[in-house]
Amino acid sequence: MYLELHTASAFSFLAGASLPETLVKRAADLGYPALALLDRDGVYGAPQCYRAAKAAGLKAIVGAELTIRTSHSALSTPHSAPSTPHSALSTVLPVLVSSQTGYQNLCRLITQAKRDAPKGESRLALEDLDGHTNGLIALVGRQALVAERHGVGGLVDKVVGIFGRQNVWMELQRHLRRDEEAANASLLDLSAAFRVPVLASNNVRFATVEERPVYDVLTCLRYKTTLKEAGRRLSANAESYLKPPAMMERMFSDIPQALAGTESLAERLDFTLANLGYQFPDYPVPAGETQASFLRRITMVGARDRYHPLDTAFDGRAKAQIQRELDLIDRLNLAGYFLIVWDLVNFCRQQGILVQGRGSAANSAVCYSLGITAVDPVGMELLFERFLSEERGEWPDIDLDLPSGDRRERVIQYVYQRYGALGAAMTANVISYRGRSAAREVGKVLSMEEDEIDRLAKMMSRFEFVDPDEAVTKHLKEAGLDTGREVYGQFAKLWTQMQDLPRHLGQHSGGMVICKGRLDDVVPLEPASMPGRVVVQWDKDDCADLGIVKVDLLGLGMMAVLEESVALTGVDLAHLPPDDPEVYAMLQAADTVGIFQVESRAQMATLPRLKPKNFYDIVVEVALIRPGPIVGQMVHPYLKRRRGDEPVTYAHPSLEPVLKRTLGVPLFQEQLLRMAMVIAGFSGGEAEELRRAMGFKRSAKRMRDIEGRLRTGMARNGITGVTADQIVLSISSFALYGFPESHAASFALIVYASAYLKAHYPAAFYTALLNNQPMGFYGPATLVKDAQRRGVRFAPVDVQVSDWRCTIQDDGAIRLGLMYVQGLRAEVGRKMTSGVFLAPRDAKKTPDVIFGGRFATMDDLVARTGVRRDELRVLAEAGALASLGGDRRSALWQAERAARPAGPLLTDTELTSGTQQKDVECLFLQSPGSEKDTRRLFAASPLRQMTLTERVGADYAATGLTIGPHPMALVRRALAARGVLRASDLPSGRPGRRVRVAGAVITRQRPGTAKGFVFLSLEDETGIANAILTPDVFASHKRTVVDAPYLLIEGLLQNQDGAVSVKAERIEALADTGPRPVSHDFH
């Protein structure tokens, strides 16, 4: 039977139009027994193909199309046309893997090809293959005929020489193209001449005929052209789809040996990704110890430190739990993995890098004992099976939170150094076409106007929420486009088809895989954009599915903030006072701007209602505002029960021990597992399997199976009907989006620490926050205003005293760093800060010194730092040159002169010309002397000073923030005349009253769980006001809401237990209010 041995997926990046799953599904529908995926220069799609094929009962054959460098231009077919500018000098050689050795060779070859080529390209010489072809089958097709440098049949001769006659097949293709027949005849002759067999294939590029337009669009993107201009670069017809076997057999009925060749080759290809040959590295242990025994010893040492005394801690439960975990780790042979993570954590501690394990690892007492996590799972009664179970047979998942930036990079480099450049790599992150990117690309390819594309891109991915009734055409109508035009019909269709197609490979933020031996035997490696980094061709899920162990080294901005705050204050985070009243007062008042996790609008709206009083309340708060509890409709019942408005009940009495702590409402994933164990008799492993099945939304069958088992188990315990349905709903809601309790607890620790610092050391906390931007929910401008409302004082950027980063002055004020001057190069900024600080006393010795700052004059600044004119302008505009004397305009006036050294000739000319003021200036330039003279120099500026409004505008333009008045304060009088309230006035207002509020829009949200409601945060000089827009109100004011930086909203005041908001009825844009603030949208 015919089977397809040459299929390319969208992971060929612009040379294929279907996802591997789609191809496999189509193959399964057509009755194919196997499918070979040969993507260009990679095995990017192989795991997905393998997974889908396994589920569909197909064999997933592995292969790749290798770009081979030749030195003569090769004529290319549209399908095989290479995508790079260098492609004219290259040809394509498809290879198939027949054994594990072959797979290893393929991975090494691709790694070499990527290593030796510029980013995004790939290059191998045919000679590079020599000696690395064992287990690989080469397919020689039409491309070989046009590689003319090798002479008639020369390339075939070379390939046969390198691969061996038994490993070369002549590939015949028929796409109903006239020119293919002559090539096929030549290939048949060559096969006879070289005595190599022939096979038939269809060089599939998309699953069905309907995907041909998308393929053409991708072709245009590859060639950077439009459909109108692409001409013969586009496919000649739509025949490169996955055809039914019978059709292929009919097409090749005149060459039966080709069909037989396909079949016989397929029989030889018995390698699949099931046997990758991956091994986790061993941890070196002292002589006489095994990894398990060594782990046991050090765990017990750590446990004795964590639990005092260990034998009796929690009635001996701690020790028992540790023993149980160690036994399981021993049985699963995972000791090495724990030791390696322990080693990483130790490295961080030794380097003074803040580190904390998060995720389900916090359920493990062993991790707690080893210092990997900070949450006591025994004390908090966390479920170990969520982390590790015998049934699952998977590697555990330990994520480490590290300070983002350089510190995390040091840990990553440590891993490379420890396991070798080819033994460790980052996991990939596949960037896919989504709303905005797809709209841009499709618009370009359809030759739409630039502004039209902008409008479409803006509209197509404005918000996360997608109304089921919202067709693409509705979006287009809202953008004011004539949907009757044919081009928009095509746009809508292509845009929809482009969704989720891979665009390019990125680097995952922190996932690292390590391997015993060479990782490039397991998966091809590519150099990343960042120097010193390599990336595997698979993302973290693919790695996990194929049993490759990963350690997530996640950069967490707040960890960096904590670390910096600790350095500034000397606070010991490990010994913070528990239950600090100021922290809880702050949380209850939702005064949480800048605090980890609980600063979002939704969290702020919940905090006054939850009123956290202890650490566990913070854990609940962190877990509560997640899609899981929201979709599962758990939030309101929990809050009502907490307030006593609703009795605490349980779906079944047996669930009381499980749900008691959360008042009968499931909030954590562990509770979901325990529920399944209690009511349906599931084991820990089965319960985890249930969670995963529910979370894996694409596997409907798997979900149905496990749900059936759950219901059967519940029925055995007498739970049926509505109760059973309710339990199933809560379980399915949590599966994907709920937090594990351990993870929430780990995060809650950071919440508490950050809140404590904000409450007691605000200057240090805000300094650290400003130094680690971008992070969190709010921009620096909002953070500065929030800090000022808390009494923190700020000093402006100043070239004479500012550091590159923000610092705390002796008087307690935060001095803004030069890093906030937009457009100032870091090297110039650092040169400024490295300048010797010239003390006033030195002035007597050095004639240039005037103020005792770093620079005597602006000319001195320019001469010593090489600052550019544009940078000098921004510095002047930001007021950073003020301490050289004069106001911002004077500085701007001088900056233009200082940045254009006129030379002595012109200086002399100035001396003898112009006005009296100018004479003063030039005189000074000749012999700069005293501070007074310099001030005169600035005073000589003929420009008028900036007004307050101008200064605020200049602040935003130059630094993105202001330490002066909020822009809304400048228009407050006019707004007050219109009855507009301030944000701080709202809490005291009567609920239900119609109010007006105005401010700079700092967040726009349309969460997927909010059924089309939109939430806006408006900032004014007194704080943040929240507004809620119903879908109708949003629809009628969409353009204003999306585009206007300042809004005036009129509506009804709402106050739910202290959570204040305005339910919008009318919205208007406030024109010319001030500079455009940074808004965080679409969260």
Partner 1 sequence: MFICLIRDSLSASKPGVLETVARACSPRVEAHGDDVVVCDARGLTRVIGAPAVIAEEMRRMAWERGLGVRVAIAGSQTAAWLLAHVRPGATIVPSGDEARMLERLPLSALIILPAPPRPTMALPSSKPAPPSTQNDMQPLRTSKAGQSDLQSRDVAEALRICDRWGLVTLGDLARLPRADVLTRMGPVGVRLHQAACGEDATPMVPTGEAPRFVGRMELEWPVEGLEPLSFVLARLCDALSVTLARADRGAVTITTRLRLVTKAMHERTLTLPSPMREAKTLRTLILLDLEAHPAPAGIDVVEVECGVTPGRIAQGSLLAYTVPTPEDLSTLLARLQALVGDTRVGAPVIVDTHNPRVSSMKPFALKNLESAVAKASADKPLNQEPRTELRTEPRTLNAEPRTSIRRLRVPVPVRVRVERGRPVSVALSERITLSERTSVRESKDVTTAAGPWRTSGHWWTSDAQTWDRDEWDVALETGVIYRLARNRQTDAWELEGEID
Please pick, from the candidates 873, 1004, 1037, 1063, the single residue that binds partner 1 as defined by CB under 8 A: 873
Q: Which stretch binds partner 1 (CB under 8 A): 185-193, 467-475, 690-698, 1040-1048?
A: 185-193
- 471-510 positions binding partner 1, by CB under 8 A: 486-487, 490
Stretch that binds partner 1, among 209-217, 460-468, 642-650, 765-773 (CB under 8 A): 209-217
CB of 341 to partner 1, least distance (A): 54
**Hey, how many other C-beta atoms are within 10 angstroms of the C-beta on 203?**
24
Nearest to 440 by CA among 431, 427, 428, 449: 449
Say whether the peptide bond before residue 847 is cis (omega within 30 degrees of 0).
no
Pick from 390, 382, 366: which is nearest to 673 by CA?
A: 382
Residue 213 interacting with partner 1 (CB under 8 A) = yes
3-state class (DSSP) for residue 1025: strand
Where does residue 628 rank: exposed (0-12), middle (13-18), buried (19+ CB within 10 A)? buried
Q: CB of 851: closest distance to partner 1 in angstroms?
A: 24
In angstroms, give the least distance from the CB of 269 to partner 1. 29
Give dist(CA 80, CA 777) in Å, integer: 46
Q: How far is the CB of 937 from partner 1 (least distance, A)?
A: 12
| Least distance to partner 1, CB of residue 5, Å | 23
Regarding 183 and contact with partner 1 (CB under 8 A), the answer is: yes
Nearer to partner 1, 499 or 913 (CB): 913
Per CB under 8 A, which region of 184-192, 700-708, 1013-1021, 1074-1082 contacts partner 1?
A: 184-192
Say how many residues touch partner 1, by CB under 8 A: 54
Q: Residue 856 Cβ, how far from partner 1 at the closest point, in Å? A: 20
- Per CB under 8 A, the list member of 152, 246, 431, 974 interacting with partner 1 is 152
Ranges within 127-146 binding partner 1 (CB under 8 A):
145-146
Q: Which of 859, 910, 931, 1081 binds partner 1 (CB under 8 A)?
A: 910
Nearest distance from residue 813's CB to partner 1, in Å?
28
Q: Does 234 bind partner 1 (CB under 8 A)?
A: yes
Q: Quick one: which of 176, 320, 466, 826 contacts partner 1 (CB under 8 A)?
A: 176
Which tokens is 1009 given? 């769980």
469 binds partner 1 (CB under 8 A): no
238 or 374: CB nearest partner 1: 238
Give per-residue burial for 514-525: e unless 16+ CB within 10 Å, then b: bbeebbbbbbbb
Please state, in angstroms and as integers, the Cα–Cα distance from residue 11 to each residue in 140, 483, 503, following that order: 22, 32, 8
Residue 948 touching partner 1 (CB under 8 A): no
Tell the smallest beta-carbon distance from residue 218 to partner 1 (Å). 14
Question: Other C-beta atoms within 10 Å of 736: how many?
Answer: 16
Question: What is the three-class DSSP state of 619?
Answer: helix
Rounded Cα–Cα distance for residues 396 and 392 (Å): 10
Specify the residue, 145 or 882, whose C-beta has the smaller distance to partner 1: 145
Among 178, 575, 844, 990, binds partner 1 (CB under 8 A): 178
Nearer to partner 1, 46 or 200 (CB): 200
- Specify whether the CB–CB gap between 245 and 28 falls below 8 A: no
Q: Is 431 in the site for partner 1 (CB under 8 A)?
A: no
Angular region, 765: left φ>0, alpha ψ -120 to 50, beta rest: alpha
Q: How far is CA 521 from CA 101, 120, 278, 369, 832, in A?
A: 9, 21, 8, 35, 49
Contacts 24+ apart (CB under 8 A), 771-775: 771/564, 771/805, 771/806, 771/817, 771/819, 772/404, 772/405, 772/557, 772/560, 772/561, 772/564, 774/557, 775/404, 775/557, 775/558, 775/560, 775/561
Position 195 contacts partner 1 (CB under 8 A): no
CA distance 685 to 689: 6
Name which of 176 and 466 has its Cβ closer to partner 1: 176
Measured between its terminal Cα atoms, the distance across the chain in Å is 51
Question: DSSP readout, 1033-1082?
Answer: HHHHTHHHHHH-SEEEEEEEEEEETTEEEEEEEEEEE-TT-SSPPP-EE-
238 interacts with partner 1 by CB under 8 A = yes
Question: Per-residue b/e over 396-405, b at no fewer than 16 CB within 10 Å?
Answer: bbbbbbbbbe
Using the minimum distance from each CB to partner 1, give the nearer residue, 223 or 737.
223
Residue 253 as a binder of partner 1 (CB under 8 A): the answer is: no
Residue 528 sits in the site that holds partner 1 (CB under 8 A):
no
Q: How far is the CB of 160 from partner 1 (least distance, A)?
A: 16
212 binding partner 1? (CB under 8 A): yes
By beta-carbon proximity to partner 1, the closer residue of 151 and 161 is 151
Given 394, 397, 409, 950, the residue binding partner 1 (CB under 8 A): 950
> Which x/- pattern, by CB under 8 A, does the window 67-86 give for partner 1?
--------x-----------
CB count in 10 Å sphere of residue 774: 9
DSSP per residue, 540-609 = HHHHHHTT--EEEEEEEHHHHHHHHHHHHH---GGGPPTT-HHHHHHHHTT--TTSSSS-SHHHHHHHHH
The residues binding partner 1 (CB under 8 A) are 75, 145-146, 152-153, 175-179, 182-183, 185-186, 189-190, 212-213, 216, 227, 231-232, 234, 236-239, 446, 486-487, 490, 873, 877, 889, 892-893, 896-897, 900, 902, 906, 909-910, 913-915, 917-918, 921, 942-944, 946, 950
